Amino acid sequence: MNSPIARTLIILGVVLVLLGLLWPWLQKSGLGRLPGDIAIERENFRFYFPLTTSIIVSLVLTLLFWLFRR
């Protein structure tokens, strides 16, 4: 099991399990309802794009991956 693909899949699985366990706490933190997140609600239409949340998650993941590569 020295394959880089296998290691990546295992790490991804562990991260997904951790996110699943932390999901109730993450929802209470306000992540997903930040200023800058786009929400348009009409009579028969609802559009939601978490722009600010996506940027923050991207920055955190970039930092984590950078730290693990060192």
pLDDT one digit per residue (tens) for the chain, 70 residues: 578 888 888 888 998 899 889 888 877 877 778 899 999 999 999 999 989 989 998 998 899 888 888 7
The DSSP-derived string for 3-54 is: -HHHHHHHHHHHHHHHHHHHHHHHHHTTTTS-TT-EEEE-SS-EEEE-HHHH
pTM of the model: 0.60
Whole-number pLDDT of residue 13: 92
pLDDT number for residue 1: 56
